[in-house]
Structure 1
Amino acid sequence: MSTDAADSGSKGAVTVTPAAAEEALSLLRSEEMDTDEAGLRLFVQQGGCAGLSYGMRFDDAPEEDDTVTTHHGLRVFVDPASLNYVGGSTVDYESGLQAAGFHVENPNVVSECGCGESFRT
């Protein structure tokens, strides 16, 4: 398992904004998960009109081959295959009148579908 305990992340790793970390930690605590061990898993899966889509879930602990980073107290787990697509990305949390949710700003994307739910690198 690769680990980067710094709040800034390493080159190629995923970073998280303070707003996203705060929201994720709040959700983890509401699920009564141990924030010292559990974290947010970011992954890429086949799907969507552009070919790939993001997935996020909370996991109790990282897998052995995950890259693990910590940002503003939030642990983030990314598997090696997904890291190839999302390395260098930033996870943010946006809230507004029409919607609220996590958003991935991915510098590797060359095109996205119209709704922004899927992408191609």
Structure 2
Amino acid sequence: MSTESADGGSANPRIEVTETAAERALELLEAEDYDTTEAGLRLFVQQGGCAGLSYGMRFDEKPEADDAIYDHHDLRVFVDPASLKYIEGSILDYESGLQAEGFHVENPNVVSECGCGESFRT
């Protein structure tokens, strides 16, 4: 298990989270009565979508033994090794506006996305 911190830990974190995304995720975790000192947001990649891969997110009570753990603005983010190779260097953000509201992954490894932006290929 590796641990990196955006608040003074590793100089080059492999996954970053904006303050807005962290605040929103923490609000949702607390609303569901998770202990935010142990629980966190799991970010993963799964097969699916018209471009081949899609992002997934869920809350987990604790990390798995082989997860990379990233701490950003008091939010813990868990990433399994298989997913990390697809999303290394990504930034998780939260957008809210007239058109849409939700979490968005800015992934530098993407070579193409489907038209709706829900799936990608590296």
Relative to the length of structure 2, the TM-score reads 0.95
Count of matched residue pairs: 121
Distance 1:6 1:96, change over 3 A: closer
Q: Which residue of 2 aligns with 1:18?
A: 19
What is the distance in 2 between the residues matched to 1:15 and 1:118?
A: 20
Distance 1:96 1:56, change over 3 A: same
Aligned to 2:84, the other structure's residue is in SS state helix
Q: Which amino acid aligns with 2:71?
A: T
| C-alpha RMSD of the superposition | 1.3
Unmatched 5+ stretches in structure 2: none
Write the deviation string for residues 94-118 of structure 1: whole angstroms up to 9, x where unpaired.
0012321000000000000000000
What is the distance in 2 between the residues matched to 1:17 and 1:50?
A: 26
Unmatched 5+ stretches in structure 1: none
What is the distance in 1 between the residues matched to 2:65 and 2:80?
A: 9
Distance 1:78 1:37, change over 3 A: same
Q: Which residue of 1 aligns with 2:115?
A: 114
Distance 1:42 1:66, change over 3 A: same
The aligned runs of 1:1-121 (5 Å cut-off) are: 1-7=1-7, 11=12, 13-121=14-122
Deviation at 1:4, TM superposition (A): 1.1
Deviation at 1:11, TM superposition (A): 3.5
What is the distance in 1 between the residues matched to 2:92 and 2:11?
A: 15
Q: Which amino acid aligns with 2:34?
A: M
Contact 1:11 1:88 in 2 (8 A): no
Displaced runs of 4 or more, over 3 A: 8-12
Deviation at 1:6, TM superposition (A): 3.6
